[in-house]
A and B are shown apart, each in its own frame.
Chain A
Amino acid sequence: MHNLSEEYKTLVSIAERTGGQPGSFGAEDVIYVVVHGNRILASHALPGVRIEAAETGDGIDARITVQAGTKVSKPVHLCFGHLAASGRQVIRSRIFLEEEASAEFQAHCIFPNAIEFLHAMEGEIHLGPGSAFSYREVHVHGPDGRIDVRPVSRVRIDEKAVYRGDFTLVEGRVGNLAIDIDVEAHGRRSRVEVTSKIYGKFDDFCQVRDIVRLTGAESTALIKARVVLKDRSQGKFLGLVDGAAPGARGHVDCTEVVQGEAKAVASPVVQASHPEAEVTHEAAIGRIADEKIQGLMAKGLSADAAIDFVVSGLLR
């Protein structure tokens, strides 16, 4: 028999330790949702924000609407997780920010005991004119086992709206990760920033596919990836910006660091479908210099701890 309060406490304590503000969950002035598997353990909304969530066979369907003109002052915390070693969780979400609304979402995906687990996030995000939306997804996995993580987002951005997406998986095993983000900035002067920070170890496989289509005039995009791979882990990064409107400007910036027998492939792709668009890219794959690792070892750190320390800075 499940003990709901224990599951709630465990998930929330990890979430608060890894980026959530202590006391956020349960606070009267904070919007939050806590889901364990396919069970909604807690949900709290505030005026101007509508949350409709339903449990499904393997996860939840959620629709969150931030109504026109609503400025959500404190981050909205979404905690999705499972304490079991195996299973699946599929979160289907539709997030809509109406005109001139703004909100910052922090998703905490917590799987501390996962050995064989599928965690899929299928998100549709629509940002109305002049809205601003920041979405930060932090994963915490256990040190052993494998987990399949499939964050898929389809984002549509209207005029002068701003989208910032930040995916971070730096604690525990990655397992198999396939990030798939597709953004269409069709509104004039819309802005996009997509960042991925990943630390792969052992035989983890990390695939990042970030695509931004700048179809709105004077829209801008920055795709940034920081991927560190060690042991026998592998990583593939594809970052594509298509400048498809007059005055559109985009940049792809990817840095991958490999240690041990890890392998990395980086493919920054820029295309200018419109003659007045400007798109640029930079990519680098390198190793952590011996002198950096040895400098820390001379302070008593093990080689692994030294690498972790360097990586913590790279992925900050």
Chain B
Amino acid sequence: MLEPQMLFVKDLEVEREGNRILRGISMQVHPGEICGVLGRNGAGKSSLAYAIMGLPQYAPRKGRIWFDGEDITEWGVTERARAGITLAWQHPARYEGIQVRDYLKLSKPDAAAEDLEEALKLVQMEPFYLDRMVDKGLSGGERKRIELSSIYLMKPRLAILDEPDSGVDLLALGEVMGLFKILASGGSSVLIITHREDVAAACDRSYLMCAGKMILEGSAAAVKRYFLSQCEPCVEQMPENTGEAALNHA
């Protein structure tokens, strides 16, 4: 039996530029769980990740977010991070003039060289990458892998991973999931945002999101089945910036 939820989101609504991009989202993530949020592009998955992380552009107009029983709805990004929440962006930013070593050390300032090397090894990168610059000579996939290794070093209590497998060249799905399982076995909860049903299917439990709403919660296999049978092709995909058309779908 799962322990009480670590993250609890209730009736969350977010509006941007006049459009309701999250519509009454309720969800929860339990300690040590790998939880998926599956949905097509434009469903609002990344917006949900940003709202949980506390980005001010995604401040909710309604609803609350609790973390470990504490209402964090009004907390800033830094406070949430220090409480143990972190987010791996879908497209990691390029930091000019920063070495991979220094970037990774942000996640664990007292990390020894062996810690950094181990974190890189987990994403199949050689130690020499530590001396490379984050903004130069790295492919998008390599930057993504470095981001994943930085999350590993942080050992957060809740890691939100936005499309963690996109652009991760050469890493098979099993290897990506293996990393998440290592995170979970170390005590982290993992919330995976994905548009790939096979990624969601490898989670402990999943949600299906469409047009800014959660339309299904259940076992990963059940969510995958529903997604494949009902959502592909999805004739009611959310038109850009509105989210109106797919409402009937829910």
Residues of A participating in the B interface, judged by any CB pair closer than 8 Å: 289-292, 294-303, 309-310, 312-316
Q: What is the CA–CA distance of A298 and B85 in the complex, to the nearest angstrom?
A: 8
**Known: A301-B106, A309-B106, A313-B98. Is A295-B93 also a contact (CB below 8 A)?**
yes
Q: B81 touching A298 by the CB < 8 A rule? A: yes
B185 on interface, CB distance cutoff 8 Å: no
B168 on interface, CB distance cutoff 8 Å: no
Of all chain A residues, the one with the shortest Cβ separation from B76 is: A297
Of all chain B residues, the one with the shortest Cβ separation from A295 is: B93
A287 to chain B, nearest CB (A): 13
B216 on interface, CB distance cutoff 8 Å: no
Q: What is the CA–CA distance of A295 and B92 in the complex, to the nearest angstrom?
A: 8
8 more A-B residue pairs beyond the given contacts A300-B81, A301-B78, A313-B95, with a C-beta to C-beta distance below 8 A: A289-B93, A291-B89, A294-B77, A295-B92, A298-B86, A299-B154, A313-B98, A315-B97
B107 on interface, CB distance cutoff 8 Å: yes
**Known: A303-B78, A309-B106. Is A298-B87 also a contact (CB below 8 A)?**
yes
B96 on interface, CB distance cutoff 8 Å: yes
Q: A299 touching B150 by the CB < 8 A rule? A: yes
In the bound complex, residues from chain A placing their C-beta under 8 Å from that of B97 are 312-316
**Known: A291-B89, A309-B106. Is A297-B78 also a contact (CB below 8 A)?**
yes
In the bound complex, residues from chain B placing their C-beta under 8 Å from that of A294 are 53, 55, 77
Q: What is the CA–CA distance of A298 and B135 in the complex, to the nearest angstrom?
A: 19
Q: B96 touching A297 by the CB < 8 A rule? A: no
Q: B95 touching A302 by the CB < 8 A rule? A: no
Q: Which of A290, A299, A309 contacts B86 (CB 8 A)?
A: A299
A147 to chain B, nearest CB (A): 26
The tally of residues in B whose CB lies under 8 Å from a CB in A reads 24
A contact patch SS: helix
Q: What is the CA–CA distance of A316 and B99 in the complex, to the nearest angstrom?
A: 11
Interchain residue pairs with CB less than 8 A apart (9)? A290-B57, A291-B89, A292-B93, A295-B93, A297-B76, A302-B78, A309-B98, A316-B97, A316-B98
Q: A291 touching B93 by the CB < 8 A rule? A: yes
A131 to chain B, nearest CB (A): 31
The A-contacting residues of B in range 98-145, CB under 8 angstroms, are 98, 106-107, 135
In the bound complex, residues from chain B placing their C-beta under 8 Å from that of A299 are 81, 86, 106-107, 150, 154
B89 to chain A, nearest CB (A): 6
A113 to chain B, nearest CB (A): 28
In the bound complex, residues from chain A placing their C-beta under 8 Å from that of B150 are 299
Q: What is the CA–CA distance of A299 and B106 in the complex, to the nearest angstrom?
A: 7
In the bound complex, residues from chain B placing their C-beta under 8 Å from that of A302 are 78
Q: What is the CA–CA distance of A313 and B103 in the complex, to the nearest angstrom?
A: 10
Q: What is the CA–CA distance of A291 and B82 in the complex, to the nearest angstrom?
A: 18
Of all chain B residues, the one with the shortest Cβ separation from A299 is: B106
Of all chain B residues, the one with the shortest Cβ separation from A306 is: B78
Q: A295 touching B78 by the CB < 8 A rule? A: no
In the bound complex, residues from chain A placing their C-beta under 8 Å from that of B77 are 294, 297-298
In the bound complex, residues from chain A placing their C-beta under 8 Å from that of B53 are 294, 298
Q: What is the CA–CA distance of A310 and B94 in the complex, to the nearest angstrom?
A: 10
Q: B96 touching A295 by the CB < 8 A rule? A: no
In the bound complex, residues from chain A placing their C-beta under 8 Å from that of B89 are 291, 295
Q: What is the CA–CA distance of A301 and B76 in the complex, to the nearest angstrom?
A: 11
Q: Which of A290, A300, A310 contacts B78 (CB 8 A)?
A: A300
In the bound complex, residues from chain B placing their C-beta under 8 Å from that of A312 are 97-98
The A-contacting residues of B in range 144-172, CB under 8 angstroms, are 150, 154
In the bound complex, residues from chain B placing their C-beta under 8 Å from that of A298 are 53, 77, 80-81, 85-87
In the bound complex, residues from chain A placing their C-beta under 8 Å from that of B80 are 298
A298 to chain B, nearest CB (A): 5
Of all chain B residues, the one with the shortest Cβ separation from A296 is: B106
The 8 A CB mask of B48-60 against A (1 = contact, 0 = none) is 0000010101000
Q: A313 touching B81 by the CB < 8 A rule? A: no
The 8 A CB mask of B36-74 against A (1 = contact, 0 = none) is 000000000000000001010100000000000000000
Q: What is the CA–CA distance of A251 and B85 in the complex, to the nearest angstrom?
A: 46
Q: Which of A292, A303, A315 contacts B95 (CB 8 A)?
A: A292
B82 to chain A, nearest CB (A): 5
Of all chain A residues, the one with the shortest Cβ separation from B154 is: A299
A78 to chain B, nearest CB (A): 26
Q: What is the CA–CA distance of A289 and B80 in the complex, to the nearest angstrom?
A: 20
Q: What is the CA–CA distance of A294 and B89 in the complex, to the nearest angstrom?
A: 10
Q: What is the CA–CA distance of A8 and B85 in the complex, to the nearest angstrom?
A: 47
Q: What is the CA–CA distance of A29 and B245 in the complex, to the nearest angstrom?
A: 77
Of all chain B residues, the one with the shortest Cβ separation from A255 is: B96
Q: What is the CA–CA distance of A302 and B80 in the complex, to the nearest angstrom?
A: 11
In the bound complex, residues from chain B placing their C-beta under 8 Å from that of A315 are 97
